[in-house]
Amino acid sequence: MPTSLQSLAAVGQSPWLDYLSRVFVRDGDLAGLVADGVTGVTSNPTIFQAAIAEGDAYDEQMREVLRSEEDPKQVFLALAVQDIRAACDLLLPVYDRGDSSRDGWVSFEVDPHLAHDAEATVEEAVTLHRRIDRPNLFIKIPGTEAGITAVEETIARGIPVNVTLLFSLERHRAAAEAYLRGLRRLRDAGGDLAAVASVASFFVSRVDAEADRRLDEKSGPADLKGALGIANAKLAYEAYQEIFTGDEWTDLEAAGASPQRCLWASTSMKNPDRRDVTYIEQLIGPNTVTTMPRTTLEAFVDHGLVADTLTRDVEDAHRTFDRLAAAGVDYDDVVAELERQGVKAFVESFQQLFDGIAEKRSALIAT
């Protein structure tokens, strides 16, 4: 009998894990989940901060690195690159299957301090891609205004990209159009379109958290709480279906290109009164990805229900936007604030990561 994760794949959705650590890879836990149906891994500064801070799994390598390197960022990269390579190698058989879903990817993020500097983001994307040197590596680039510019340039250089921190329909469309421009440039330069791919990481639960907070402030309709995140994602998928059709896309596809799939991120349920796997169950559809933290993935394996839900009630999703506006919730302001918060949170996690490395360095030197 197929696992629930394998059942997701049967309806065209790829289940990925939003977690990575050295112990998790070394002890076979990731390999076990891949056997159960996980087909990709995402990571971010917060995940690495927690992984490096706990236990002593990184201490031996850190001692070695510290003999020649003091810059906390470079120390972090030396540690993280080893984990990313190991995860890429483990998922390489999935990537090599050559499925139309283009799975087997592992994502690693550029320094979030660069989120508003397109040129520096491209430079770091190129450096990370060369340093990690794995075909199934996604470079994560935030979907800020500068990040969108960097996405086009990075794709044009033949580097696969996970566009992250997407909250708004406008930014999602901009990310897709940047991907298409990059593909055209790569094709015109004689590059291999089949070697690149992209996903657009569209965040879900954070949208509800911010919209619900504003609804509470305005004593808005109770039935609108928890509605925007899923409605927003459904309309993003509607846009995806429109963008990746037509003659121009058909020509790129014939040259080896794959569409920029929607990836549902921030899928853990923050509201204890709602079903813990709601964001997974309500956004299942073909040619999409859902990435889950470990607790959410375990919950879905235990009691998740699989059905093609993504294209249901799309008209209701449009009406949700109208009703939120009538209740005084400004969608554009919600998503703009979430982008600011998202970049700020990742920058803070990166800084805490550097501080933690400095503390570990002091402790290791003292022993």
**According to the model, what pLDDT value does residue 127 have?**
98
Q: Is 11 exposed, middle or buried (0-12, 13-18, 19+ CB in 10 A)?
A: middle
pLDDT, one tens digit per residue, over 38-67 is: 999 999 878 888 888 777 888 889 889 988
**According to the model, what pLDDT value does residue 101 have?**
67
Q: Is the pLDDT assigned to residue 366 strictly greater than 70?
A: no
Task: Please compute the mean of the pLDDT values over residues 199-213 and round it to a whole number.
Answer: 97
Q: What is the DSSP secondary-structure string of 298-318?
A: HHHHHH------TTTTHHHHH
The pTM (predicted TM-score) of the whole model is 0.95
Q: How far is CA 177 from the centre of its chain?
A: 18
Q: Is 73 a catalytic residue?
A: no
Q: How far is CA 96 from CA 104, 155, 197, 208, 296, in A?
A: 8, 21, 14, 37, 27
In the chain, how many domains are there?
1
Q: Is the pLDDT assigned to residue 100 strictly greater than 80?
A: no
Catalytic residue among 73, 140, 344, 360: 140
70: tokens are: 């003091």
Q: Is the pLDDT assigned to residue 336 strictly greater than 70?
A: yes
Range of the domain at 281: 4-366
pLDDT, one tens digit per residue, over 349-365 is: 888 888 878 777 777 66
Task: Please compute the mean of the pLDDT values over residues 326-352 and round it to a whole number.
Answer: 95
CATH number at residue 124: 3.20.20.70
Neighbours of 337 (CB within 10 A): 14
Longest dimension (CA), the chain: 65
pLDDT, one tens digit per residue, over 293-318 is: 999 999 999 999 999 999 999 999 99
Q: What is the DSSP secondary-structure string of 241-295?
A: HHHT-HHHHHHHHHTT----EEEEE--S---TTS-TTHHHHTT--TTEEEEE-HH
**According to the model, what pLDDT value does residue 218 have?**
94
Q: Is the pLDDT assigned to residue 33 strictly greater than 90?
A: yes
**According to the model, what pLDDT value does residue 365 have?**
67
Task: Please compute the mean of the pLDDT values over residues 68-80 and round it to a whole number.
Answer: 89
**According to the model, what pLDDT value does residue 355 have?**
85
Average pLDDT, the chain: 94
**According to the model, what pLDDT value does residue 176 have?**
98
